[in-house]
Amino acid sequence: MRPVNPYLAVVASGALALAGCGGGGGSSTTPVTQPPVTSVYTAPAAVALTATDVQQVIAQAVAEAQARGTPAVISVTDRVGNVLAVYKMVGAPNNVTIRPGPGSTQIDIQSVQVPAALAAIAKAITGAYLSSSGNAFSTRTASEIVQPTFPPNPATVGLGSGPLFGVQFSQLPCSDLEYPTLGKTIGPHPSPLGLSADPGGFPLYKNGVVVGGIGVKTTADYGLDPDVTANNPTQVSEEAIALAGTVGFDPPAGATADNITAGGQSLIYTVATAAILKSSPASAPAFSTLGSAVGGLVAVTGFSGGAVVAGQTYGTEASGVRKASTAEFNNPDAFILTDGAGSARFNPRSATDSPGGASPLTASEVQAVLQNAFSIMSRARAQIRSPLNSRAQVTISVVDTNGTPLGIVRSPDAPIFGIDVSLQKARTANFFSHAAAASDLTGNSDAGPGRSADIQGFVAGLRTFLGDQTALTGKTAFSARAIAGLSRPNFPDGQVSGPTGPLSRPVAQWSVFATGLQTALVDTNLATAVAFVTGQTGSLPTRCTALPDAVSGQNRLQNGIQIFAGGEPIYRNGVLVGAVGVSGDGTTQDDMIGFLGVDGAHGAGAAITNAPVAIRADQLVINQGGGANRVLYVSCPPAPFLDSSVQDACAGK
């Protein structure tokens, strides 16, 4: 987005302790025991925000903003990302600046100025996309789970990174998965700035069903809270205004983030409470009485036409996400993406690539992976869902070696964010395991200042770090978890005395807006998308990265990479043929569902397997920082199933 000093490869050292079920023997040939294909989930009720609801949410937020003397930009979206209204109060900021990073040179999207309306929309989408009937997450929750320490607290050192570290660079407006065009109701739609970690965004509910989100922006700073438990007055004010808007559209009792744990830590929903509101939302003046002296609706190119519109009912054809027919996917609980005209967008299909001498994935093999992963999910205990012992709900994606989606399926109430993220994870695992990974990265055609040298530096840095100048040529199977371990600003994760991970920015430059290779790959096209909104360019980019095409019109990382766990490559007789990605109800659950999904497909007779043990990334010995260490490949949760006492379901596979 701005001139950047070419990133000189950091020769890093240190260790990431091998844990979980990372090692183990070859893929099992024993089929995964599957329950009968009967319905075990309850689909969300068919409810949506009406135009009157949207007006009420805005009116309540405006009343709180007036009571505080703090003009705000307020956005409301539905569950699949349709922007239902953007309201700008008189005196609210026109633009915001993405918070500067710690270094003297601002890189990636640090310090970039964007319209305040985009920040408000991103907050609303984040509240909607991270939430479900079983969990209500705010942008403060997002702030907690994307930072380099978890829980984030400046006074504490030696903690590992947040469980969704890097998720902020998903749902991008350049994603090839999502529908960005104003006027189309089918989702999921992208967020203009990815997911937001800036407090002031909440989900909206009706009858216990998430139906959308609200986002509020009152200042010119777009950032995060480095200590999510602190009562930062400005951020509390934005939260209070947004919280007032949610009155009457409250999440189910017990579903807010503070009722949910991750990694043994309680999450946080908000530091604003009803007690600190300075207005009475139930008595807020009607929207129709808000004259031009207060503010008005605004149009946002590509996102909002400047009017109040009703939301789409999730689960209907018009929403873009609906129940699958038996012909589309043989499970009564399966939900799929649709084109709005009755056709599935990602029905299981055969690959058309040429994977290194092996036969491409067949439609039946793709179906087998998806069905087995779906079965594992339906038995698994969710991590980020209330009440305890709820079933996990996720989105599952399979790609071929070109990164082409071969099938996407999800459970009825899986969080929406997992759709784009599951595809990112599958593409990440495939890409870094592919023989062309290094050549694709060095062939990057991004015209941003210094960007090609910057990306080439990551290749050189990783090779030096691994002690292998031929790394990224298909010799090693990299899971999304392995790439995550190499993308942390402290390596091993949480060891402050260790080196920087080779795919991360150095600690002195790192921020949630400049994570490393992840952001270097996408920042130019993200800037182009913002320029489209502000009228400086004529169209949105249709891909997020500038890597060479794998097939005409598509590269292997079309919607960017993801740097937290939940994606594994798929092999046939030791040859890479694609990958699976999973995202939804917990990163170890994601890992397990994809890993056992492939293993179960193999056990049921498919001629595909997980990566051979000998080439998995956790077999690499990293001689850095005075020790010989390894990264994780896959980590599965203890006692993961609701119907079994099995402790380590991934052991020996």
CA distances from 340 to 4, 318, 336 (A): 42, 5, 12
Q: Which domains does the chain have, with CATH numbers?
A: 51-305 (3.30.450.150)
AA identity, residue 380:
A
> What mean pLDDT is predicted for residues 82-102?
97
Taking 3-state DSSP, the helix, strand and coil percentages for the chain, each rounded to the nearest 5, stand at 25, 15, 55
> What mean pLDDT is predicted for residues 120-145?
97
Residue 371 has pLDDT above 70, yes or no: yes
DSSP-derived letter for residue 572 is E
- Mean pLDDT of the chain, nearest integer: 91
- pTM listed for this prediction: 0.94
Closest by alpha carbon to 548, among 425, 442, 461? 442
Structure tokens belonging to residue 243: 């919280």
Residue 623 has pLDDT above 60, yes or no: yes
> What mean pLDDT is predicted for residues 626-640?
87
> For 416-516, where are the alpha helices, taking DSSP H only?
417-433, 437-442, 451-466, 480-485
Strand partners, 338: 344
Q: What percent of the chain has pLDDT over 90?
A: 80
Cα 264 from Cα 243, distance rounded (Å): 27
Per-residue confidence (pLDDT) for residue 485, from 0 to 100: 95
CB 117 within 8 Å of CB 6? no
Q: The sheet that has 201-206: what strands, in order across it?
A: 201-206, 209-217, 73-78, 83-89, 295-297
Per-residue confidence (pLDDT) for residue 613, from 0 to 100: 97
* Buried b / exposed e along 263-277 (16+ C-beta atoms within 10 A): beeebbbbbbeeeeb
> pLDDT tens digits, residue range 229-282?
766 777 799 999 999 999 999 999 899 999 998 878 889 999 999 999 999 999
* Strand stretches in 60-103, DSSP E: 73-78, 83-89, 95-98
Kindly give, in sequence order, each residue whose CB lies less than 8 Å from that of residue 538, ignoring residues fewer than 6 positions away.
Answer: 532
Cα 353 from Cα 180, distance rounded (Å): 28
Q: For residue 54, how many other CB atoms are within 10 A of its CB?
A: 25
> What mean pLDDT is predicted for residues 363-375?
96
Structure tokens belonging to residue 341: 């005209």
Q: How confident is the model at residue 626 (pLDDT cuts 50, 70, 90)?
A: low
What length is written for the chain? 653
> pLDDT tens digits, residue range 7-65?
222 222 222 222 333 333 333 333 434 445 789 999 999 999 999 999 999 999 999 99
CB 427 within 8 Å of CB 170? no
DSSP-derived letter for residue 519 is H
Q: Who has greater pLDDT, 625 or 193?
A: 193
> What mean pLDDT is predicted for residues 553-566?
97
Residue 226 has pLDDT above 70, yes or no: yes
